[in-house]
Amino acid sequence: MLIRPFFLFFILINTFCFGQKFGWEGRTNGKEFLKIGFKNFELRYRTNNSENRLSFSQKIWKDKKVTLKIPLHYKFEKEITTLEPKLYFNFEKFKLWMQKEFWVNLNSLAAIGVESPFENYTFYAGWDTSETFRFGLSYKIKKQSK
């Protein structure tokens, strides 16, 4: 399949780009994902090749206490696009978030979780309506000084 070489090429190119982040997510239902992002785009690769997606995400509303982010996902294997609005409640040391995935004639999972940033790392944990716990780690590469 074309996704594996594309994903590896994307990682290689993104390693040298500004504003890039990468991460890992594990779930108690056995799913495991690698993520790589550049600005508002993210490619998520499931380690058993059964669910890969490309996402574009835009913050619609942001203030000190609440942020609304609207990701648009394209799932390669299912050939479907979904929306997944995510509402963040911003506290001093962490963020509480809630999200709901849906599309026309599709009612998918809802999830809730917490994120805690530490320097360039972000740790998160959550639960979704498939009764699955998720946890993960992401790293944002620092802007190189000139």
> pLDDT at position 61, please?
87
pLDDT of residue 146: 45
Task: Provide the residue-wise pLDDT of the chain in tens; the chain has 146 residues.
Answer: 555 566 656 656 655 554 588 899 999 998 899 898 888 888 888 887 677 888 999 889 888 899 999 999 998 888 889 999 999 999 999 999 999 998 888 888 899 999 999 999 999 999 999 999 999 999 988 654 44
User: Please, what are the domains in the chain?
Assistant: 3-140 (2.40.160.40)
Q: Considering all CA atoms of the chain, what is the largest pairwise distance in Å, rounded to the nearest integer?
A: 50
